[in-house]
Amino acid sequence: MTSLRSDTPAGRLRAHRADTIPRPELSPTAIEHLRMMLRTRSWTLTEWLSAAVDSEYLAPAVLVPDLMDAAVTHLEHRESLLYLAGPRGQYLAAHNPDWAHLRRVGSRRDELWLSADTNDRMAWFDYIRTVDPELAGEELDIAWDTADTASRLEFLDHLDIGLGEHDHGLLERALDDQSVTVRERAIQLLRQLPGSPFALRMRDRAQAWIRLETKPLRPRLAVRLPGSLDEHALRDGIEDVHYKNKGIRRWWLRQVVTASPLGLWESMTGSPRAALAIPVETQWRDVIMESWTAATVLQQNTAWASAFLDRDGRNTDRRIVAIADPRERVDYIVAGHADNYLLGVDGIALLDGIDRPWPLPIAEKLVAALESEAQLHAATGEDLGIHSRHSHYSTLRSAQARFPFDATALLLEAASRSGDPGWQRAFTESAVNIEQRRIRLAALHHR
């Protein structure tokens, strides 16, 4: 059995259950700030809770019931809130049916897992997948044969959390399930595991079907598909049917390339960028590029995502943009490649997942883009419109939650230059809210 992950709020909660070292309590000022942020669902809550958990703070008894109520509705912050609630919160969860699903117990023979209630079992499974996914997988493997089809499918639907090589054996068993739906869901999960036996079988097929030709012209990928599929291919979910009028053989190719480890193409061509640049036989190029896109998303491959971004820029699939290395995305933005679309949905995808606070050069780029919008809007003399502060509400909120503290000067300078009263107020309010963020974090650590 693997050890618990102690780098998450859930893992720390379990680790501290037997810890005799007292944890520092939140100060009255920090408690007041936390209540306010929970009440308003502040965008700054993630940053504050992360700092509180990193410093191993504990909530005083009077605050614990409020934290338990908040953990019910604030799903994205649940584990951090339970960590702050500590042992008192777990005691209340054990004695209050409304909070029973917030219990964070997790022994192999835990009563929740042995319960006849499906909700209890799923609550145990979901939690253990966050702290010890191998243990959860081992227990599911034991229970697999006695579970009905609906339960097996539901467990597979919850297997995304903690999905890894420890799940290979269970998913291989699921490929032989009598239920088509169970088999299909298992295949969807296996496509995310490039080191699984399933992926290696797909790799072998891809190598047999696609080869690198080096003569007589420059290197290219050539495709030679079989005339039929064997029973092993059918077991691996390669459907012997037409799909969206694209042709049966093109559908075979897409399924195999999508499920093959992306490292195969790197070994053929040298790198992800080289693979995306290499010529492919015309009739197969589109399907291979579509398959590489899908594989990049499924395998969450940052190197391939960065290569797509480098090649396609703004036209990069948004699902891929968010996977690209955050440092490369920062460099891409700072270099000015996204200047003309940074405030749009494509720009939001670029910013997704960049560590907070954002680097100051990112703040500078965003403030410059917002100032341009303010100038365009001032010329209209209207309160609303596509260039108004209202149209950029989400960006302004993100700035307040993610800008570095020294970006307040940028925003105040933008306010002083703005000829539009609405934008002037928006820049000023953003600067004030960033300063409030700084004050709340400082108060968290002040005893």
pLDDT digits (tens, 9 = 90+) for 44-59: 999 999 999 999 999 9
Distances (CA, A) of 55 to 33, 37, 237: 16, 19, 48
Give me the amino acid identity at 339. D
The span from the CA of 39 to the CA of 175, in Å, is: 47
Determine the pLDDT at residue 18.
Answer: 45
- Residue 110: its H or E element: none
Q: Which among 364, 383, 365 is positioned nearest to 374, based on CA atoms?
A: 383
Strands 210-213 and 220-223 turn out to be antiparallel
Which residue matches tokens 């953003």? 430
The span from the CA of 175 to the CA of 357, in Å, is: 44
Cα dihedral across residues 308, 313, 317, 318: positive or negative: positive
Please name the residue ranges forming H helices in 133-178. 133-143, 149-157, 168-174
Give the tokens for residue 447.
Answer: 């005893």
Check if the beta carbon of residue 331 is closer than 8 Å to that of residue 352: no
Check if the beta carbon of residue 175 is closer than 8 Å to that of residue 186: yes
Q: Which among 205, 214, 144, 151 is positioned nearest to 175, based on CA atoms?
A: 144
Determine the pLDDT at residue 10.
Answer: 59
Give me the amino acid identity at 253. L
Determine the pLDDT at residue 214.
Answer: 85
Q: Which among 117, 53, 109 is positioned nearest to 81, based on CA atoms?
A: 53
Check if the beta carbon of residue 240 is closer than 8 Å to that of residue 248: yes
Name the maximum alpha-carbon separation found in the chain: 78
DSSP-assigned letter for residue 262: T
- Cα-to-chain-centroid distance, residue 111: 31
For the stretch 159-181, pLDDT in tens is 999 999 999 999 999 999 999 99
Check if the beta carbon of residue 59 is closer than 8 Å to that of residue 67: yes
How many Å is the Cα radius of gyration of the chain?
A: 26
Distances (CA, A) of 115 to 5, 121, 134, 328: 25, 6, 20, 48
**Ranges of the chain whose pLDDT falls below 50:** 1-6, 16-19
Can you give the length of the chain in residues? 447
Distances (CA, A) of 13 to 67, 75, 173, 312: 14, 17, 33, 44
Torsion of CA 153, 155, 160, 165, to 10 degrees: -100
DSSP-assigned letter for residue 85: H
Distances (CA, A) of 119 to 93, 143, 219: 15, 16, 56
Distances (CA, A) of 341 to 328, 379, 407: 17, 21, 21
Those residues whose C-beta lies under 8 Å from the C-beta of residue 285, and which sit 6 or more positions away, are: 279
The span from the CA of 199 to the CA of 364, in Å, is: 44
Determine the pLDDT at residue 127.
Answer: 83
Determine the pLDDT at residue 11.
Answer: 56
The span from the CA of 214 to the CA of 410, in Å, is: 54
The span from the CA of 387 to the CA of 378, in Å, is: 9
Determine the pLDDT at residue 435.
Answer: 96
Give the tokens for residue 218.
Answer: 């420059």
Q: Which among 19, 17, 7, 5 is positioned nearest to 129, based on CA atoms?
A: 5
